[in-house]
Amino acid sequence: MNPFVSPQTLITGEGVLTEVVEQIRKFGASKAMIYADPGVVKAGLVTRLEHTLQLGEIDYELFTDVVPEPPLNIANHAVQVLRKSNADIIIGIGGGSTLDIAKACAVLSSHEGKVEDYLNLTGTKKLVHKGLPKILIPTTAGTGSEVTDIAVFSLDTTKDVITDPYLLADTAIVDYELTYSLPPRITASTGVDALTHAIEAYTSIRASELTDTLALDAIKRIGKNIRTAVWNGSDNEARKQMALGSLQAGLSFYNAGVAGVHALAYPLGGLFKIPHGESNAVLLPYVFEYIWPSCLGKMGNVAEALGLKVDHLSDREAAIKAVEELYNIVKDVGIPTTIKEFGIKESDIEQLTRDAVKQTRLLARSPKAYTEKDIRAVYGKAFEGKLKLN
Ligand SMILES: [Fe+2]
């Protein structure tokens, strides 16, 4: 059985932010708590939301202290502010970090305790109801957070998640226009994150025909448009395709799962504070260099979806081309292609390996199993920066 789960309502299009008023009314809510980060405020996107709410005569309160890869103290502060307010609906507008905070706040509004009490690895309490309704509005393309039930938090040297179906959005509003002003570096890192979601979901052992359809289409849209969206951000068509591809990738990976790239990327974020998208991007070619023989046919399809000429190639040749193209994409959008460029030393590989081994939930979805030695070798290749495919 392959159940497919998604938010109850998904609204997509240019300028659909205004639909937020109708959605709030649908829940009979009267006051919104808005979560955002300073970058989204500076880009004028929160003003746009505020203007829409004012026109709709909806009362609201703002929390704009969200930071990237949020630590627990920020998340707990966000929860405290909500508990003191009389808000009856949550709106998250921003990148994955903001949407994750919004999800956690919505459920914790009606639960006792702190965020850490509900963490996957070390928490001691269980969520028993969904809390306040939540509307999630992504401004990147993207983390997919608007369609998943996971919220990621930074601990001292690692990361942990709250994951529960209660975290799923009631409504996700994907307004392409909100991504039009994203700077190149964030466009690149969130774009490669979305591409990683699609390829990892497509090759996951939990993939289904439905997740495959979404994932392949996402790979096509992102592969074709990511370079343009990064370097010519005013190309609205490329932006739109990235936003759509990111949404498809999110729906696909929420149902099929991500695997080795995310498993090995988590320690890069935890130990070295490398942003999520960049830590995935730098590992993407090397993880697929390791797993491609286990999913040959699918990697051939990935090559075709990425727009490569594969007509007269064998599956093996096409799969190798696909892995090379992943390397090219990362390089072309300006993200380092070795972990040493992030300041990581060869001697750090041991600690990275020890932490990655613990990501059993993610590693279990890989089509090719990993031993500790295999993980060490992948980090080693990502350190050297050499793909050896033949
Ligand atoms: Fe991701």
Residue 56 makes CB contacts below 8 A (sequence gap 6+) with 20, 21, 24, 25
Each residue's pLDDT tens digit, 109-161: 999 999 999 998 889 999 999 999 999 999 999 899 999 999 999 888 778 89
Q: What is the DSSP string of 373-384?
A: HHHHHHHHHHHH
Instruction: Share the mean pLDDT of the chain.
Output: 95
Q: Cα of 59 to ligand 1 centre, how many Å?
A: 33
CA of 276 to the centre of ligand 1 (A): 7
- Per-residue pLDDT band at 263 (split at 50, 70, 90): very high
At 65, the pLDDT band (50, 70, 90 cuts) reads very high
Exposed, middle or buried: residue 209 (CB in 10 Å: 0-12, 13-18, 19+)? Answer: exposed
Whole-angstrom Cα distance, residue 256 to residue 189?
22
User: Looking at 151-160, 284-293, 311-320, which range is the least confident one?
Assistant: 151-160
Query: Beta 159-163 vs 150-154: how paired, if at all?
Result: antiparallel
| Ligand 1 centre distance from Cα of residue 26 (Å) | 31
Span 42-66, average pLDDT: 97
Q: Give every CB contact of residue 143 below 8 A, 6+ residues apart in sequence.
A: 95, 96, 99, 190, 193, 194, 246, 250, 276, 277
Q: Which residues surround ligand 1, an ion (CB under 5 A)?
A: 193
- Whole-number Å distance, alpha carbon 191 to ligand 1 midpoint, is 10
pTM: 0.95
**Contact between residue 23 and residue 173 where contact means Cβ atoms under 8 Å apart:** yes
Positive or negative: CA dihedral 282, 225, 48, 33? negative
Confidence (pLDDT) at 104: 97
Q: From the CA of 145, how far away is ligand 1's center (Å)?
A: 9
Which pLDDT does position 340 carry in this prediction?
96
- Tokens 């390089």: give the residue: 331
Closest C-alpha among 51, 37, 333 to residue 183: 333
Does 270 have pLDDT greater than 90? no
Residue type, 40: V
Q: What is the CA radius of gyration of the chain?
A: 20
pLDDT band at 39 (very low <50, low <70, confident <90, very high): very high
Q: What φ, ψ does residue 314 adopt, rounded to 5°?
A: -75, 165
Q: Out of 3-7, 20-24, 25-29, 218-222, which region has the weakest mean confidence (pLDDT)?
A: 3-7
Confidence label for 298 from pLDDT (cuts 50, 70 and 90): very high
Alpha helices, DSSP H, located in the chain: 20-26, 38-42, 45-55, 72-84, 96-108, 184-203, 209-231, 236-256, 260-272, 276-291, 296-305, 315-332, 349-357, 360-363, 372-384
